[in-house]
Amino acid sequence: MVRVPVITVDGPSGSGKGTLAQRIAEALGWHFLDSGVIYRVLGLMVERAGIGGENVDKITDMAKSMPLSFDQGRVLLDGEDVSRIIRTETIGNAASKVAALPQVREALLAWQRNYARSPGLVADGRDMGTVVFPQAKVKIFLTASAEERAQRRYKQLKEKGLGVNLARLTEEIRERDERDSKRAVAPLVASESAYQLDSTAMTIDEVYGQAMQIISTALSDIQS
């Protein structure tokens, strides 16, 4: 069986990993997986249902039967376009909480791995290179300071017409970093074999340029 080549882009919220991973996928003509969307949709479902984090079995059942689909860039939850609402920091925090549940991560593991299809996959998330695709050909860990990430998220949300407070946003990002990096299962950490990039003082074009140099060299070494 021929293994599909995978490139992973991991990092904290607001680091630019989603934008970077999507550009890499487009450049290579590979498939793209935004793993965060899966957890954000589940977080939205849990918020709407008013379920507490202690109800693990119920949340796990929701993860297994999530009516999630994609249509021309839109994220659909049982036919409803939730593309905008899942990008709010409130839902991001809800996603972080459900993602800390081992049973939920196990339920969604196969779903994510099945996304690896020919000619290749670029996957972005928090544990793509450490847990979901440990065999990935290239692993990139992208980060930036909490303050810079909050500024980026603030700008994105304001452009979408969503109300947001910068100070609160910065605090939420720090809280999420703390929770994601210290959770018992699949914590947010760089794989030992990952190339680490700090985008704090870089434009997305500069980050993309460095990432493509890394990828080009790595893929050339593999093919030679």
- Count: domains in the chain: 1
Q: Which residues are known binding-site members?
A: 11-19
**Residue 154 · residue 40 · CB < 8 Å:** no
Asked whether residue 217 is assigned to any structural domain, the reply reads no
Residue 59 DSSP SS3 = helix
Query: How many Å apart are CA 10 and CA 137, to the nearest integer?
Result: 14
- CA quadruple 92, 143, 158, 124: dihedral sign: negative
Partnered with residue 140 across adjacent β-strands are 9, 195
**Residue 110 included in any domain:** yes
In this structure, the chain runs to a length of 224
More confident residue, 188 or 28: 28
Q: Specify the 3-state DSSP secondary structure of 142.
A: strand
Q: What is the pLDDT of residue 134?
A: 94
pLDDT score recorded for residue 166:
92
The rounded percent of the chain whose pLDDT value lies above 90 is 58
Of 37-51, 94-108, 176-190, where does the model show the most confidence?
A: 37-51
Q: What is the percent of the chain with per-residue pLDDT over 70, rounded to a whole number?
A: 97
Cα distance between residue 61 and residue 101, in whole Å:
12
Average pLDDT over residues 198-203: 94
What would the mean pLDDT of 88-117 be, rounded to a whole number?
Answer: 88
**Average pLDDT of 75-95?**
91
- Domain contains 215: no
Whether 84 is in a domain gets the answer: yes
pLDDT at 45: 96
- 143 is a domain residue: yes
Cα 120 to its chain centre, rounded Å, is 18
pLDDT for 223: 54
Which of these, 16, 2, 37, lies nearest to 206 by C-alpha position?
Answer: 16
Please give the pLDDT value at position 179: 85
| 10 part of a folded domain | yes
Which residues are annotated binding-site positions for ATP? 11-19
Residue 222 falls inside a structural domain = no
Query: Over 70: is that where the pLDDT of 197 sits?
Result: yes
Question: What is the domain range of residue 192?
Answer: 6-209
pLDDT value for 1: 37
Residue 65 lies in a domain: yes
Asked if the model's pLDDT at residue 185 lies above 80, the reply is: no
Mean pLDDT computed over 41-67: 92
The pTM assigned to this predicted structure is 0.80
Which CATH number fits the domain that encloses residue 65?
A: 3.40.50.300
Burial class for 111, CB neighbours closer than 10 Å (0-12, 13-18, 19+): middle
Selected residue with higher pLDDT from 89 and 80 = 80
Question: How many helices (H) and strands (E) in the chain?
Answer: 8, 8
